[in-house]
């Protein structure tokens, strides 16, 4: 996988770096309408025409990004709404107010002597007529897509207060072949479906890929040794290595929010417990000691707590403990079973798989055990993973024919949407925003 660098630079002019004081109250049921005139360029002549074409592509990418969200609705960009370069920083607010837009995104793309492009991105509150935020990115021509995602992320953040999930990756298990003899490979793609790559070759069963917070590394479970064991792969160099030495069965790995540690489950005889170890190995530290199955650990965003599932009460339930294994506390108490928890990036919720009989659904609950909500209808939904925005989840759903597919569901209660991937998919995992 290509290493991509985006340089940030300070835009000219004293940036009125207003905090994310959003023009529109987050949580407003209706989507915020946002005006998105074509990006422009300060370049002249032939170069200017070339850059205008690039800028138009970027504008369309931003429209696609924002249209995927439940919170922001971009007006369709119209090439007739051409903006001159000076207008980027001095827009005519009344025009957009009249069209019903409450926010405005403008920007430009400029060629640089070194062959790269500079993109400037500006977000305005149309009603108050003031700037909400601005950012600039320097990218290789091939990476204009990522600069557009960064601009979408800025607009989303200024309007909703949540980080955008546009410049992120999704890892999952790509499945092919008949249901009783599946070929499983770890696949990684950008969240818009581009840059789809396979990280493992397919001769070995693999499970549960989990990206590092900035999506440069990946941990997963491989049966290559004949036992399930946690592996680590660097996506930039393709270097693979086992997390641990020795013949123990290990599984359910997950990165800490700073990427330095991995929590995982390991079998000691007939007992599955949760351990934590540095990403580069070392002596694992045991965090749980109960007889029975403790597994599926997930860190809180500050790294201070861990949510996990345990069947110590007789059924699978969710528990929260401090990251050193102390202060275990059960947070679910119904007759259903709760598994595969993942803590949201904003810390507010824990997503889980809810299971009752043979029915599995996706739900969320506050870390204190209140506010449980079931978001999907099943009957075979599993393995939720949060978008960086904390407002959306990706999960696995077995279709009527039993084949697994990836779906996204928003917390607003709208229907889940199927994602487009080249083959069947399971065990999805959504990264944080890349840098």
Stretch that binds another protein, among 26-34, 56-64, 145-153, 262-270 (CB under 8 A): 262-270
380 makes contact with another protein (CB under 8 A): yes
272 makes contact with another protein (CB under 8 A): yes
**1-24 as b/e, with b when 16 or more CB fall inside 10 Å?**
beebebeeeeeeeeeeeeebebbb
Stretch that binds another protein, among 40-48, 78-86, 103-111, 223-231 (CB under 8 A): 223-231
Q: Which of 26, 100, 129, 177 binds another protein (CB under 8 A)?
A: 177
Which x/- pattern over 326-365 shows residues binding another protein (rule: CB under 8 A)?
-------------xx------------x-x--x-x-----
316 makes contact with another protein (CB under 8 A): yes
427 makes contact with another protein (CB under 8 A): yes
Q: Which of 34, 105, 252, 287 binds another protein (CB under 8 A)?
A: 252
Q: Which of 29, 45, 115, 203 binds another protein (CB under 8 A)?
A: 203
Stretch that binds another protein, among 130-138, 148-156, 278-286, 309-317 (CB under 8 A): 309-317
Our CB check for another protein shows the closer of 12 and 181 to be 181
Our CB check for another protein shows the closer of 203 and 246 to be 203
Range 55-114, binding another protein (CB under 8 A): none
Our CB check for another protein shows the closer of 26 and 379 to be 379
Our CB check for another protein shows the closer of 168 and 310 to be 310
**Cβ contacts of residue 21 below 8 Å, gap of 6+?**
132
Q: Which of 13, 115, 226, 246 binds another protein (CB under 8 A)?
A: 226
Our CB check for another protein shows the closer of 82 and 223 to be 223
CA gap 111, 45 in Å, rounded = 12
Q: Which of 267, 285, 312, 419 binds another protein (CB under 8 A)?
A: 267
Our CB check for another protein shows the closer of 182 and 348 to be 182
19 makes contact with another protein (CB under 8 A): no
Q: Which of 37, 153, 161, 383 binds another protein (CB under 8 A)?
A: 383
The minimum distance between CB 106 and another protein, in angstroms, equals 45
Give the binding site for another protein (CB under 8 A): 177, 179-183, 200-205, 207-208, 221, 223-228, 249, 251-252, 265, 267, 269-272, 293, 295-296, 309, 311, 315-316, 339-340, 353, 355, 358, 360, 380, 382-383, 427
């Amino acid at each position: 996988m290509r290493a991509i660098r985006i340089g940030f630079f300070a835009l000219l002019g004293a940036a009125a770096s207003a905090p994310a004081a959003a023009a529109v109250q987050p949580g407003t049921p209706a989507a915020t309408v946002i005006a998105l005139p074509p990006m422009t360029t300060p370049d002249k002549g032939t170069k200017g025409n070339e850059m205008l074409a690039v800028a138009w592509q970027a504008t369309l990418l931003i429209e696609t990004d924002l249209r995927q969200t439940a919170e922001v609705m971009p007006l369709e960009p119209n090439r007739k709404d051409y903006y001159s370069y000076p207008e980027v920083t001095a827009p005519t607010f009344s025009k957009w107010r009249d069209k019903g837009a409450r926010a405005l995104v403008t920007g430009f793309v400029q060629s640089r002597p070194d062959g790269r492009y500079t993109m400037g991105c500006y977000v305005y509150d149309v009603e108050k007529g003031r700037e909400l935020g601005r950012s600039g990115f320097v990218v290789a021509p091939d990476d204009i897509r990522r600069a557009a995602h960064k601009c979408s992320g800025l607009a989303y953040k200024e309007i909703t207060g949540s980080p955008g999930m546009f410049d992120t990756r999704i890892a999952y298990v790509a499945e092919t072949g008949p249901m009783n003899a599946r070929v499983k490979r770890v696949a990684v793609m950008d969240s818009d479906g581009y840059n789809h790559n396979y990280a493992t070759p397919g001769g070995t069963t693999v499970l549960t890929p989990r990206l590092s917070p900035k999506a440069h590394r990946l941990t997963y479970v491989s049966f290559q040794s004949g036992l399930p064991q946690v592996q680590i792969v660097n996506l930039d160099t393709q270097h693979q290595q086992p997390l641990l030495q020795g013949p123990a069965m290990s599984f359910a790995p997950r990165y800490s929010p700073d990427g330095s540690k991995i929590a995982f489950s390991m079998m000691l005889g007939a007992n599955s417990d949760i351990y934590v170890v540095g990403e580069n190995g070392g002596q694992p530290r045991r965090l749980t000691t109960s007889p029975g199955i403790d597994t599926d650990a997930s860190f809180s965003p500050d790294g201070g707590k861990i949510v996990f599932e345990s069947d110590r009460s007789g059924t699978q339930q969710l528990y929260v403990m401090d990251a050193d294994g102390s202060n275990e506390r059960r947070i679910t108490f119904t007759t259903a079973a709760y598994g595969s928890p993942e803590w949201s990036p904003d810390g507010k919720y824990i997503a889980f798989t809810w299971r009752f009989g043979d029915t599995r659904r996706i739900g969320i609950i506050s870390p204190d055990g209140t506010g449980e909500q079931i978001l999907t209808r099943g009957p075979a939904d599993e393995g939720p993973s949060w978008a960086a925005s904390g407002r959306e989840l990706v999960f696995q759903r077995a279709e009527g024919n039993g084949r697994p597919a990836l779906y996204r569901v928003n917390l607003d209660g709208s229907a889940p949407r199927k994602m487009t991937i080249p083959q069947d998919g399971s065990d999805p995992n959504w990264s944080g925003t890349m840098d």
